[in-house]
Structure 1
């Protein structure tokens, strides 16, 4: 206890000094504003509903806001006060003082009457129709705060709701959908609900042709004089609503300009259009096949305008990825004489060809340094149906500057082609998806050569054919009924390989011929685009199979293996799930969590998943306190001085938790804990021909799962520039599963002052984007 007294006293002294330094530059008569205090019904012992939330909301509505603080310290004001009184308009001094720092917020800036009115207005909007608010200021030393006392009265509830009488088409639509009303008898009076009710009615009318209708044409009359703290609500259409807003409109003509630009505007409008179904297409260059617009435009001539078709058409044209600009224009022919609209669709295509070039540098924890260059050619609208062809080639070079094979050079070459069709291509069937999102058929073919100097070469071929579609804004599916992977190794110096196999158990799995023919499916759900949510979720689940169907048709060879073209056929089924949750504690702090689990079952020719399909642990997006692919399987420990530390498994379990907080501007910080491991379904006993090639402790046992988890922790800095995120995470292990039982927790061994400890335990991870 005595050892803690000095640090506590020192911390308290720092807080006192920090507090004083925030007011030392104030002039006589100036007081630092420390914030607002809300007292709700102080003379009553009865609390209102959700009093804590109401109090917090009222505090947030007061202006101005006090200086920002962290752990009670107004750090931005401290930085501002550290700068001299006068700084140059440009330079680091001005940046620190006015960009990173923050000038003191003074009590004199507080407008009590204005805040009284704002708080009272909010309370009335929530049903406290008799609310009163009085504010005052309190000064103590060089600081002051505002105190607002609110007497809410009893919250009013809805007694009855009346809708317009069914006397015409418009009122009939309102009456027909009144059961969907957001207003419910017995609910509290709530102004936001009333506004949303007007929007709901407007949506119903927009779906029935009322193009020019507006929520402002509706009035909700509230009668609070009936007594017993109840209100009657009467919904009606304003008498001042214009004629154009209260009649439905139909589509007269649909004019499409597929190759539009301002420069060609006058020329295009003089062309004789191509008549195709309900469309007039103005394009003398025949940029797109006319049938493409059957899948993009949902309107038909003569039908009523409706908002659903409007939104789906726009979304499809935008999501197609073929247009730089999309604009839909509805023009009334003559709103006083008829009720018809002309629809003009202006589409500006993206450039047909584009070329992108990228260069990456690598500095790996296993001693490899090198670089890679990649060139990608994109051709759009290949067959005039908004198809897209991406062809890329990349080459890389790495050399090992430390480790067992210092001086080993590694080369790679990759070529890939991907062709995307904006529709489902299914033999003997033409499915039609009618939502806002474009379904896609994707076919790809790739080849990769990996040359490990004189040791070995790997030739890898992969081809896929499948479909990608979105069910709605939240749900996405990907299904590849055909996925083929062929890996053919070429071995080099046998003596060097033998020594590597002895030093790195499991490496020989990389050099096995692999022929994988299977299918895969994945499902993704996310609501992260809903920024107003306090909690958002991301989930991705996938299943992949190999050799299941083909295994029924191929025969076994002399040693009992099923082969195709002389290559053993890999048979397996693999499941993986990734669940993430993001909880906003406040606007500056987010708590992010991830659960990731995978299971693979190999059968037939295989005892474990093929190497290219295995799970891996460690690295900048995984368990950050361990080097990439160096953790596991199980309690097995790989020799980290070896450049071939790729350890894979059939089973994976990982949990991550991370507290993310804003520091200043785009600079953010994070504190995190990662836990997990990988295992083989069956322990690796090695090959009889290779001594010590087994991996003891690599097998999975459910009862040992928690005891064999690795745990790491650390902190990070991120620069979030919206379009990209640069991340630096520093992490170290606090539990090592490969140590003997009872010695796996190593928190007491942490010693940042020791160079040896840092070299063996502290891992720096540099990444692009968030880890999850």
Structure 2
């Protein structure tokens, strides 16, 4: 432990020195930002846009400009100065220094071979190029680019209804070889939509247009916007293709906007021509028609290699025809249930899209191919045959993972695991996942005395079994409120794990019956109808070895001069014997009997608090819960930098068992709580609300916000929340100025090794920006804490009783580095205690704001 503390101390000192050296170096090299700017050039220092004489700051307007100043960090063009470190004439410098300088060349020839010398010169060139690539070249004002920016500004305002907009620019020198550009925009009166007419040739299209005109994106009386016309084109295209017009394309839609002598009004005409058909060398136009699906063929094992092979198996089910090149491995109803294209219905593009999505979500097939061909049996040429080609994924898939970790209970740990995925287990597109995991580690505490001489003295092993069905299993049909286009799934899983010398050595058995469905791309729902967890503590006698802070407080009380403690509770050093001595001492104090006497009221309350926490953390848990999670996420892909995410979760536990207790005579324990299989079941209600918002500020600058609120209230058969369902604060994904489980509750100062509570509030703010290439950085502020409320804890410092307790919200701030490896981000954050509620009031701000008291966090990917 001393070695670890000493090593941490020197790491902090080293980091502080490196930071000082880097800052000094940056200040030194930043003396001349225009060192790579020629005498007849100007470095762009600022862009200003004046709208009708007033300066504006809207980023979407500034994004129209082709040239922007070099990126700045706190007003400092770091990447520009890094670029300036590179030598523009590196080739001539190296030739002169190493090849033309005879004396230098002779000296080097005695050390390096010619090949080694060439390699060294090449490495110098590569390093110089790396500096250029990593840095940012000076942005030189280009008047042609400026004129293009003016045209783009004109186009932007024109497309938003200001047809008479006037734009201009002026380049204003602002120092030696520096200048800024000032753009001026005069909008004049905007144009608005007046009349909306139509010129539609096909009767079918005309009828559909009239029937859905109320949902038009172009509305009379609104200001003209080109994006509204684009949205209307997309709406009409989707409308027609969803109503059977298979051959329709948005290129058939045009708009005529008349603004001649209209007094700033736009008279709009929607023009839709007939379908263009080519036959040989001639082209003609024919009216659009409504197309129906006459037949749906599903090829269950298609591949490019067997495309010309004969089909050997087939089946018919509810109008669908299924084919297979080998013996069919799927139940027909399993595949047809995932297909929204139905024989005898009208063609719909939405049905095709939903079919793609549903088949992909099964994780059984590769990306499917759906094509339509005219039915040769139909003389009207309106019937279509839908062909769905499915290529199966491999029956079995193996996966492995490995990681190295460090935490507050282990100074070094190795984790490993593996999984086996078996697809289409029962021929109904079901998936069975079998996984195992294990870890070994070296503890930070000699809690397990029997293994104290072993480096790897803690371990965990577990296994999970999960079976997923592509439908909702329920006693009654759920199709009316969870239709199959929502991609419903049912999962049944069981898991078991056991820990050795981690805390109290636990065995964990869990079982989950889960439903999930996705109404839209942004919205998803998850319901755990049953979420059962049984936790058994195997080594309760080890409690005071693990929770040393509690033991030290208890031992200090027992050794107080005013306290008389039985000598049989103490060892030869006068310390409480673990576990019997400590347990007997607590029993005497709680029952106010025995040979332990002399405690004052404060000491007695402290012992009672230790007893309550020990009982809660050593009791076995039976959690029989149900929960529902609502998730709204506008993030479309991994690289989407601007999005919102809202999550709401509610969970209740013990209600079903409570109802059964009124029918079945469950046993009661000494506290009057009902027990099932010898364990008092948990009963509580818990809710969580989590909101995340990212704003893209341009130039790889992101502002991110997260808010979280959660509370869990015990009732009925319980007076506390199980440890596994409690909240904690601190750590690399929470308040980074405190280590995980170190913050709170309230102003108590984190007296315990694992501090948790049943109420939590948190707010995180983070500004992210790019430093060089794939190296990013961030400044952050983390706010929040945990409290106990309406449970067994009555310590005033740990409980939340009124809004005045919000003064105990902790504030951490700091900065960090992040390196983007494309498939994951490696994160290093440094958090400083900015406002510490554990300190006395009046001395909470910035008292430990230094590197010696900082918390260093390493994480994978962004914290939120």
TM-score, structure 1 normalization: 0.86
Q: Contact 1:311/1:436 (CA < 8 Å) preserved in 2?
A: no
Partner SS for 2:368 = strand
Question: 1:731: Cα distance to partner?
Answer: 0.8
Separation of aligned partners in 2, 1:736 and 1:37: 42
Separation of aligned partners in 1, 2:543 and 2:735: 35
Matched with 2:388 is: 345
Asked if 1:510 corresponds to 2:602, the answer is: no
Separation of aligned partners in 1, 2:694 and 2:167: 36
- What does the per-residue CA deviation read over 1:450-484, in whole Å, with 9 as the maximum and x for residues that have no partner? 1118x853211111112111232222222122222
Matched with 2:830 is: 730
Q: Contact 1:256/1:282 (CA < 8 Å) preserved in 2?
A: yes
Separation of aligned partners in 1, 2:546 and 2:523: 49
Q: Where in structure 1 are there 5+ consecutive unaligned residues?
A: 1-12, 686-693, 753-757
Q: Trace 1:148-167 onto structure 2 (pairs within 5 A).
A: 148-164=183-199
Separation of aligned partners in 2, 1:327 and 1:401: 56
Instruction: Note closer, same or farther for the CA distance 1:228–1:742 as it changes in structure 2 (3 Å cut).
Output: same
Question: 1:638: Cα distance to partner?
Answer: 4.3
Tell which structure's C-alpha radius of gyration is larger.
2
Separation of aligned partners in 2, 1:160 and 1:122: 24
Q: Contact 2:436/2:463 (CA < 8 Å) preserved in 1?
A: yes
TM-score, structure 2 normalization: 0.77
Asked if 1:459 corresponds to 2:507, the answer is: yes
Q: Contact 2:544/2:551 (CA < 8 Å) preserved in 1?
A: no
Asked if 1:203 corresponds to 2:251, the answer is: no
Question: 1:492: Cα distance to partner?
Answer: 6.7
Q: Contact 2:743/2:755 (CA < 8 Å) preserved in 1?
A: yes
Question: 1:288: Cα distance to partner?
Answer: 1.9
More helix by share: 2
Instruction: Note closer, same or farther for the CA distance 1:81–1:572 as it changes in structure 2 (3 Å cut).
Output: same
Partner SS for 1:615 = coil
Q: Trace 1:451-490 onto structure 2 (pairs within 5 A).
A: 451-452=500-501, 456-490=504-538
Partner SS for 1:648 = coil
Q: Contact 2:507/2:535 (CA < 8 Å) preserved in 1?
A: yes
Asked if 1:248 corresponds to 2:290, the answer is: yes
Asked if 1:442 corresponds to 2:487, the answer is: no
Question: 1:405: Cα distance to partner?
Answer: 6.8
From 119, 133, 136, the equivalent of 1:99 is 133
Comparing 408-417 with 485-494, greater Cα deviation is found at: 485-494
Asked if 1:627 corresponds to 2:767, the answer is: no
Separation of aligned partners in 2, 1:69 and 1:265: 58
Asked if 1:523 corresponds to 2:526, the answer is: no
Q: Contact 2:714/2:791 (CA < 8 Å) preserved in 1?
A: no
Matched with 1:4 is: none
Q: Where in structure 2 are there 5+ consecutive unaligned residues?
A: 1-23, 92-120, 278-284, 554-609
Question: 1:330: Cα distance to partner?
Answer: 2.2
Matched with 1:370 is: 413
Matched with 1:764 is: 856
Q: Contact 2:135/2:773 (CA < 8 Å) preserved in 1?
A: no
Question: 1:36: Cα distance to partner?
Answer: 5.0
Q: Contact 2:727/2:758 (CA < 8 Å) preserved in 1?
A: yes
Partner SS for 2:63 = helix
Matched with 1:5 is: none
From 419, 422, 437, the equivalent of 1:394 is 437
Separation of aligned partners in 1, 2:173 and 2:545: 79
Separation of aligned partners in 1, 2:811 and 2:47: 43
Question: 1:120: Cα distance to partner?
Answer: 3.3
From 322, 330, 340, the equivalent of 1:281 is 322
From 176, 190, 194, the equivalent of 2:211 is 176
Separation of aligned partners in 1, 2:727 and 2:181: 58
Question: 1:231: Cα distance to partner?
Answer: 2.1
Q: Contact 1:212/1:245 (CA < 8 Å) preserved in 2?
A: no
Instruction: Note closer, same or farther for the CA distance 1:444–1:324 as it changes in structure 2 (3 Å cut).
Output: same
Separation of aligned partners in 2, 1:368 and 1:351: 41
Separation of aligned partners in 1, 2:135 and 2:846: 37
Asked if 1:259 corresponds to 2:301, the answer is: yes
From 646, 658, 676, the equivalent of 1:539 is 646
Question: 1:519: Cα distance to partner?
Answer: 1.7
Instruction: Note closer, same or farther for the CA distance 1:101–1:540 as it changes in structure 2 (3 Å cut).
Output: same
Asked if 1:674 corresponds to 2:782, the answer is: yes
From 465, 482, 507, the equivalent of 1:417 is 465
Comparing 148-157 with 761-770, greater Cα deviation is found at: 148-157
Partner SS for 2:217 = coil
Matched with 2:668 is: 557
Question: 1:255: Cα distance to partner?
Answer: 1.8
From 427, 431, 452, the equivalent of 2:479 is 431
